[in-house]
Structure 1
Amino acid sequence: MRTIRRTMVASALALPLMIGAAGIASADSFGSTQVQAGPDGVASHSVQADTHRGSSSFHEHSSAAGPDGVASQHKSASADRDGGSKYQEHSGWAGQDGAGSSETHSSTDGGHDQGVLSGVLGL
């Protein structure tokens, strides 16, 4: 009787784990969006991630508006199968005291070029 109970419990636990693991292993895109609105303002947040033929990308966007002003932020990152990559972040805001923005970006070429440090070190 004890063996049968153990087998039933193990089977009951194994099925959700197998289904969950199969879903994780086969996922090549993800998306999520949330939006809130109320008496104090509105806000939204979205995330998107994809992989396709050796390349991958990630995008995130948030924005909010209320009685004190507005703000927005966007981040994105990508990598290709040749080793190239890009990153960009931008934010902006405006309110009663003024406005501002900020941006950061960087990229690498996935070609056969060596970086400065790699060339100096002979790597």
Structure 2
Amino acid sequence: MQKNVRRVVAASALALPLTLGAAGIASAESYHDTSTSASSEGVTTSSTSADSGTGSDGASFDQNDSTAGPDGAGSDRTHATTGGNGNGGGYEQGSEWAGPEGATSDHTSATIGDNGSSDSQDTGSQHGVLSGALGVPGL
């Protein structure tokens, strides 16, 4: 019996902060996070942002990463958005990389118009002259 009382007290003590924390997260309208690190091996940056939109504004999400070091440099990005009042929206993802062995890039996008029509494009990988000649896929 005493073990059950302790369990209930412990569960209650943990539930209150979790409940208050979840309520704060649910009501957040935007989120932003950025980090940068540098060392003798290179530099890396990363940023993430999200905006829930209010009223007739659409919501959006952005993620960007960049790296530069002795083996090359590259970036990767993702962007997604919804139109206001649920109309329209889009998605885009792309990446680039260049190094001693060559270069590559990739881009994918899709959009939805206000009338519900859609358009998408996937350009696939694009290789630089050197990486294409060497037959190095996905460099």
TM more than 0.5: yes
Which structure 1 segments of 5+ residues have no match? 116-123
Alignment pair present for 1:78 and 2:67: no
Match of 1:56 among 49, 56, 59: 59
> In structure 2, what residue type is equivalent to 1:79?
T
Distance of 1:48 and 1:87 partners within structure 2 = 15
Partner secondary structure for residue 95 of structure 2: strand
RMSD of aligned residue pairs (Cα, Å): 2.3
Aligned to 1:118: none
Structure 1 pair 6–105 and aligned structure 2 pair: CA distance change class (3 A): closer
Aligned to 1:120: none
Alignment pair present for 1:67 and 2:70: yes
Distance of 2:68 and 2:117 partners within structure 1 = 45
Q: Give, in angstroms, the shift of residue 67 of structure 1.
A: 0.5
Which structure 2 segments of 5+ residues have no match? 119-139
Partner secondary structure for residue 22 of structure 2: helix
Aligned to 2:114: 110
Distance of 1:10 and 1:93 partners within structure 2 = 50
Distance of 1:102 and 1:24 partners within structure 2 = 34
Q: Describe how 1:1-123 pairs up with structure 2 within 5 A.
A: 8-53=9-54, 54=56, 55-80=58-83, 81-111=85-115
Distance of 1:109 and 1:77 partners within structure 2 = 14
Partner secondary structure for residue 27 of structure 1: coil
TM-score (norm 2): 0.70
C-alpha distance after superposition, 1:9-54 (max 9, x if no partner): 3542232022112112211111112212111111111110111125
Structure 1 pair 68–108 and aligned structure 2 pair: CA distance change class (3 A): same
Q: Which runs of 4+ in 1 moved over 6 A?
A: none
Partner secondary structure for residue 87 of structure 2: coil
Q: Give, in angstroms, the shift of residue 114 of structure 1.
A: 6.0
Q: Give, in angstroms, the shift of residue 83 of structure 1.
A: 2.6
Structure 1 pair 6–67 and aligned structure 2 pair: CA distance change class (3 A): closer
